Amino acid sequence: MSKATKKHFIEKERILSIHTYEELAALHAIAKILAQPGDLRDQLELALQEMSSRLGMQRGMISLLDREKKEVWLDVALDINIDGLDVTYKPGEGITGKVAETGRPMAVANLGKETHFLDRTGARRHLNRAELSFLCVPIMYDASVVGVLSADKVAQQVENLDKELAMLSAVAELMAKAVHIRALEEENERLRKIVGSERAPSIDIIGHSKPMQEVFGMVAQVADSNTTILITGETGTGKELVARAIHMNSPRHGGPLVQVNCAAIPDTLIESELFGHERGAFTGALHQRRGRFEEANGGTIFLDEVGELSAAAQVKLLRVLQEKRFQPLGSSRVINVNVRIIAATNRNLEQDILAERFRADLFYRLNVFPIYLPALRERGSDIILLADHFILKYSKEMGKHVKKISTAAIEVFLSHKWPGNVRELENCIERAVLLCNTDTVDVQHLPPSLQVREKKVEKVEHSKLSSVVKAQERSLIIDTLEATGGNQTRAANILGTTKRIIQYKITKLGIDPRMFRKSNKTAQEHD
C-alpha cells in the first residue's frame, strides 16, 4: 500500500470517527434513556424515536436473534404497525438475515434498485423506494450477534453511507446490553410454557441451555440400562437431581433410591453403614443392622461425594462393585445384591489418582458412563429461568405476590459468577422474596455482595460512556479550532453553539486555543 493510499484510509477513518454535536446529543439522549429503570421494550422504542427526530433515521427496527434456530425476528419498530405480525428472517435471508449471519453492517444507497430488500412489514409499500437509503447493522454483545438494528433515511440527506453506518453502529453499541437482556426475557417467556409441560414429568430439572440439553440427552440414553454412572460438577449444580432423574426413568423406578453422603460417614463406621453389621460385631452394636447396599436391593444406590472416601473404604467399595456381594460386619453369611450404582463428586478424581488420593481401579469401575453437570455461569439464560422458578416457589411458600425480577436485578444475575451455583441462586431468591414488599424483586432485595458488584458495574459502564463522549467532543472542537485558526467565535458558529459554551468546553477539556491561532490579523481580531 502506497503512502498516499495509506494516508487516504487514515483520513477516512478519522472523518468517520467524528460525530457532530447533534449526533453526540443523540447518543447522549439514547444512553440516558437506556440507563433509566423501566420496561426494556419501551426504552428501545424511545431510542428509535431519538434516532428519528435527531438523526433523520426513520422506520427504525430492532430484531432479536433466536440462538437455536439462528433466525431473527422483529421485536420493536417505530412508525410501523407490527401488531399481529410474525416477521422473521432465516440466516442469510434478505439484508437483515445477512447482517445477522455475517455480523457485518450493510447499506443500500437506493432501495428502489435493491432486489434483496424484502419489506416484510409492508411499511414502504406506498413510498417511493428510490428516494430512500437503508442502513442495517448487527447488535453485538460479548462478541456475539444478539440482534439487528435497521432504519431508512432520505437518500438526499445521506452524504456518506460509511459515516451513516458508523453512527448507527454507535447506537447499536449503546443498545447492546438492553437488547441482550430483552432477548433473554423473550426467550424465557417462551420457555416458561415448555418447562413442566413438554419435559418428561419425572425429570425435575429446569434448563433449556445447550449444556443442559446435552445432560438431558445423556440421562435419556443411560436410564434404561444398568450401567454404573459417575456424575461430576461443582458443588450446588444439582447432581442429586440428575441421579433421581436417572432412577425415576429407569426400570428400577419401583425400587428404592438410597442416598449416601460419603463425606459425612466416619471411617470407623463406613463398613457398617454400607454393608450392615451383626449384633455384638463391635462395641455398641446392640442390634443387627442392614447396610445401605442391602436396603437398595432391586433399586439404585447414590454415593454422593464419593471422592471423600478413605483409602480403606475405597477398597471395600471396589470389592462390592467387582463381586456384587458382601458380608455384613461380624457375620459369616454372604449377601448378593442387585443394585445400580450412581456416584457423584465435585473433585477431579483423575488428579486425585495422580496424587494417590483415589484408587485408579475404583475410578475406572465408577466412570463407565460419565455425566458432567455444567456450572450455573455456563448455562446462560437458564439463570433467569431458574430465578423465575424459585420466585414462584417461595412466593407460594411465604404467601406473597412476588411475580417477577426487575431489569436491573437481571443484569446483576447475569454478571455474577455464582460460585455456589443453583444452590446459591435459590438462597438468594428466597432472601429476596422474604424482603420484597412489591410484586418485583429489585437490586436492593439481593444480598449485599451482589449489590456491591452492581454498583461497580454501573460505575465502570458510566465511566466508559463518559470517556467516549468526551473524546469525541474534544476531537470535534480541536478539528474546528484548527479549521478556524483558533477563532473561538467562528468555531462556535460552525458547531451551532455560543462562544461562552465553547470557552467553557475548552477549559473543561484542557484544550489550549493558542496552539491553533494563525498569524493573520483577521483571526486574532475576531477572537
User: Per this entry, what is the length of the chain?
Assistant: 527
Together in a domain, 48 and 172: yes
Together in a domain, 214 and 291: yes
Q: Mean pLDDT highest for which of 50-64, 473-487, 513-527? A: 50-64
Whichever domain contains 439, its CATH number is 1.10.8.60
Together in a domain, 435 and 468: no
Write down the residue that cell numbers 441462586 correspond to.
425
As a whole number of angstroms, the longest Cα–Cα distance in the chain is 116
Domain-embedded: residue 104: yes
Q: Mean pLDDT highest for which of 138-142, 311-315, 467-471? A: 138-142
Domain-embedded: residue 43: yes
Domain-embedded: residue 200: no
Question: Residue 3: its pLDDT value, please?
Answer: 56
CB–CB of 316/327 below 8 Å?
no
Q: pLDDT of 248-278, one tens digit each?
A: 999 999 999 999 998 888 877 777 788 876 7
Domain-embedded: residue 514: yes
What are the Cα distances from residue 139, in Å, to 99, 144, 325? 10, 8, 61
Domain-embedded: residue 9: no
Alpha carbons 313 and 317: distance in angstroms, whole number: 6
Domain-embedded: residue 215: yes
All cell numbers assigned to 494: 460552525
Together in a domain, 160 and 126: yes
Residue 12, pLDDT > 50, answer no
Whichever domain contains 228, its CATH number is 3.40.50.300
Sign of CA dihedral 99, 105, 107, 113: negative
Number of domains in the chain: 4
The amino acid that residue 175 corresponds to is M
Q: Torsions phi, psi of 224, nearest 5?
A: -75, -10
pTM of the model: 0.58
Task: Residue 472: give the domain boundaries.
Answer: 452-526
Together in a domain, 171 and 46: yes
Question: Residue 376: its pLDDT value, please?
Answer: 93
Pairing of strands 404-405, 289-290: unpaired
Domain-embedded: residue 291: yes
Together in a domain, 421 and 464: no
Q: Which residues contact 244 (CB under 8 A, 6 or more apart)?
A: 204, 257, 302
Together in a domain, 516 and 467: yes
Whichever domain contains 465, its CATH number is 1.10.10
CB–CB of 60/151 below 8 Å?
yes
All cell numbers assigned to 516: 491553533
Count of CB atoms within 10 A of residue 368's CB?
13
Final residue before a domain boundary, out of 373, 397, 413 = 373
Mean pLDDT computed over 39-50: 89
Alpha carbons 269 and 308: distance in angstroms, whole number: 14
Lowest mean pLDDT among 6-20, 308-322, 342-356, 390-404: 6-20
Residue 194, pLDDT > 50, answer no
Question: Residue 2: its pLDDT value, please?
Answer: 53
Q: pLDDT of 437-462, one tens digit each?
A: 998 898 889 988 786 554 444 444 44
Final residue before a domain boundary, out of 373, 392, 423 = 373
467-489 core/surface letters (b: 16 or more CB in 10 A; e: else):
ebbeebbbebbbbbbeebbbbbe
Whichever domain contains 118, its CATH number is 3.30.450.40
Together in a domain, 258 and 349: yes
